[in-house]
Amino acid sequence: MIDTGHLGAPPDNTEKTFDAVPLRTHSLTLASKALASKALREVQVDLAHVDSITTRGRLAASVAPEVTQSIAAIVANAQAARHFLDLQPPVLDEVRQALDCIVRDAYRVSDVIYRIRGLRPLHGGATEEGARGDDWSDPRRARADA
C-alpha cells in the first residue's frame, strides 16, 4: 500500500524552493551539443575542401616546371629544325634528330597530363582517362594507327 499521509502535511523545509535552472541548463546543453555537432561537421567538410584545393595547388606547383621545361624544349627543337631546313643544302639528319626530340618531349608532357588526369575522379568514380576512351587523347595511339 502507498503511504499518502505526508501529502496533507506541511513540507519539512519551507525555505527550499523548486529550482528549474538545472532542467533548463540540461535542455540547453543537449541543444548546444546538437548545434556544436552540426557546426563541427560543416567545418570538417570545409576543411576537407580546403585540403583538396591545397593539394591540387601543390601538385600543380610541382608539375609546372616539368611541363614548362618540356614545352620550352619542343620550341627550341622546332626552331633548330627550321634552321637546319633553311641551310643550303638542308641538313636532314639534324632535322630528323630535332623532330625526334620534339616527339619525345611531347610524350613527356603528355604523360604528365595523363598522370594528373588520373588523380581527378569524375562523377561516378571513373577517371577522366578511363571515361574518354578516344584515340585523339593519346598521340602514341594515333601514331601507332598511322
**What does each of the 146 residues of the chain score in pLDDT, given as a tens digit?**
555 555 555 556 556 565 555 555 556 677 788 888 899 999 999 999 999 999 888 888 888 898 999 999 999 999 999 999 999 999 999 999 999 999 999 999 999 888 888 876 655 554 444 444 444 444 444 444 44
User: Which of 140, 142, 139, 116 lies closest to 129 in space, CA to CA?
Assistant: 116
Cβ neighbours for 81, distance < 8 A, ≥ 6 positions apart: 94, 95, 98, 99, 102
Confirm whether pTM is higher than 0.75. Answer: no
Q: How far is CA 115 from the centre of its chain?
A: 14
Longest dimension (CA), the chain: 127
